[in-house]
Structure 1
Amino acid sequence: MRVGIVEDNRMIAQSLLSLVRAIDGECEGETWETAGEALAHAKERQVDLFLLDIGLPDYSGFALAEQLRAMENYVTTPIIFLTAMPGDALKAFRAYHCYDYVVKPFDTRELAELLRPLMRRSSKERVCIRQRGFTVRLHPEEIIYVEACQRKLLVWTRQESVTVSTKTLKEFHQGLPSYFIQCHKGFLVNRHAIQRLDRKNGLIYLGDPMPPIPMGDRYRDRFQGDWL
């Protein structure tokens, strides 16, 4: 899983990073000192859990949480606020639907007990791709589209492609969330990644650096509402 730690105190940030890695040795933890930096990275790569300091140099953790909640792929992502002000708790729960809050200075053991079930749950939600000799784990939101090609599947993220030779497109689709749509006999697409439909030419645009992918005639009725 990927944990995003937004904390301008480097000593606290490193302490939190060490803690999440101790809980899950496979965890990808990243630290950012400003809200703007965290938001930019969160748009590029999916984050499974946020630890947000409320008092940040550029703007508040509350404002960052509001920006994250406005993004479809972060509506339900767990957020834990870090604060030196216990009075911030009610606002955190009501306005930003945070999972919990931690008052500084925090107790490491108590924080570990809070994080452990969250991190286990998020790890289970990942798509596990097992190939000969290695395993790749992807968060579903990282997957932009899946392409069937010469009896194999190519699973595309914005950073890489992963080859799957053990499942058909239909079988792989069954293991994905409902926001994945079959758009062509050989393609699945993450509806959250769609930026534009070209109905005239039968193309789906997904933004840089992805190429447009085809939309088959028999699948066009699946694209309604947002893209009309």
Structure 2
Amino acid sequence: MYNILLVEDDRIQRVNLKKIICKAYDNLNFYEAEDKDEALYICQNHNIDIFFIDISLKNSSGIDLAIEVRKIREYELSWIVFLTTHVQYLVQAFKEIHCYDYILKPYDKETVISMVRKLIKHSNTDVHIKKERQYVIIELRSGVNIKLYIDEIIFIESKLRKNFIYTTKEVYESSKLSIKKLLEIIDSEDIIKSHKSFAVNINYIEKIEKIDSRLSEIYFQDYDKKALLGYKYRSTIVKKFKISYK
């Protein structure tokens, strides 16, 4: 999966650009942001391969964002493409940020498709090559260990001094580890606590529904079981859910 971040404060423009890029490749994962703060949060918590950044953003400029992106070690040489109607800013963009190229608005479909294909072709990562999946070894009980792929975990529930790990394949019961210890072993930014007795995988959340002032329910994609969301975890979960859902 190839990760692309679209930073554009005009939703219609974002949607149009995303549709065009999808004509070049199907196997792409998109993240979207409207401003600098949201974009920085995404690129600090996910591995972005290509940046498409509008030069004019809410409360800042795309150039300011790109300068901050370049300060992050893993993005010092990443592909950055600017989106603009303001050609006069491009000299600064090339000189200070060392961006790869720019796209003028309104977008020309063939130009965008050609650029995306070229960037992917000359990148170290090929969208057709499956990245190595991360896994952990979990001790369920004395003498019983399992290999658990992190991207298959939907949520974890702690009850009656046992932990139940709900995955896309089956449910595993562990009596050896606390939920805190499980999260330390899994060590994934996508699997976080939502309640004192629950931890959820942000990528599987379909809906969050409020029950009362202190409690909500979390629904998952194509899964009939639900998890709880406590008020002290709500803002973190909702923020991550909104970003992953875009």
- TM score, norm. by length of structure 2: 0.53
Which residue does the alignment assign to 1:34? 35
Which residue does the alignment assign to 1:165? none
1:38-62, Cα deviation, whole Å (9 max, x unpaired): 1101111111000000110121111
Give the ranges of 4+ consecutive aligned residues of structure 1 lying more than 2 Å apart after TM superposition: 119-128, 146-149, 207-211
Q: CA deviation at 1:121?
A: 3.5
Q: CA deviation at 1:155?
A: 10
Which residue does the alignment assign to 1:48? 49
Contact residue 17 and residue 30 of structure 1 kept, 8 A: no
Q: CA deviation at 1:106?
A: 2.5
Bigger radius of gyration? 2
1:179-212, Cα deviation, whole Å (9 max, x unpaired): xxxxxxxxxxxxxxxxxxxxxxxxxxxx99739x
> Larger % of strand: which?
2
Contact residue 78 and residue 99 of structure 1 kept, 8 A: yes
Which residue does the alignment assign to 1:137? 131
The letter of the residue matching 1:137 is K
Which residue does the alignment assign to 1:91? 92
In structure 2, distance between residues paired with 1:209 and 1:55: 39
1:94-124, Cα deviation, whole Å (9 max, x unpaired): 1001000112223111121112111233473
Give the gaps of 5 or more residues in structure 1: 129-135, 163-206, 212-228
Q: How does 1:66-77 map to 2 (within 5 A)?
A: 66-77=67-78
Give the gaps of 5 or more residues in structure 2: 139-146, 153-183, 189-246
Q: CA deviation at 1:11?
A: 1.1
Would the alpha carbon gap of residues 208 and 83 (structure 1) be closer, same or farther in structure 2, given more than 3 Å must change?
Answer: farther
- TM score, norm. by length of structure 1: 0.57
Q: How many residues align?
A: 151
Which residue does the alignment assign to 1:210? 187
Contact residue 8 and residue 54 of structure 2 kept, 8 A: yes
In structure 1, distance between residues paired with 2:116 and 2:89: 20
In structure 2, distance between residues paired with 1:155 and 1:94: 47
RMSD: 3.3
In structure 2, distance between residues paired with 1:10 and 1:76: 28
1:111-150, Cα deviation, whole Å (9 max, x unpaired): 211121112334735795xxxxxxx435xxx97xx8799x
In structure 2, distance between residues paired with 1:63 and 1:52: 11
In structure 2, distance between residues paired with 1:209 and 1:148: 9
Q: How does 1:182-221 map to 2 (within 5 A)?
A: 210=187
Q: Percent identity?
A: 25
In structure 1, distance between residues paired with 2:74 and 2:123: 14
1:154-182, Cα deviation, whole Å (9 max, x unpaired): 799xxx368xxxxxxxxxxxxxxxxxxxx
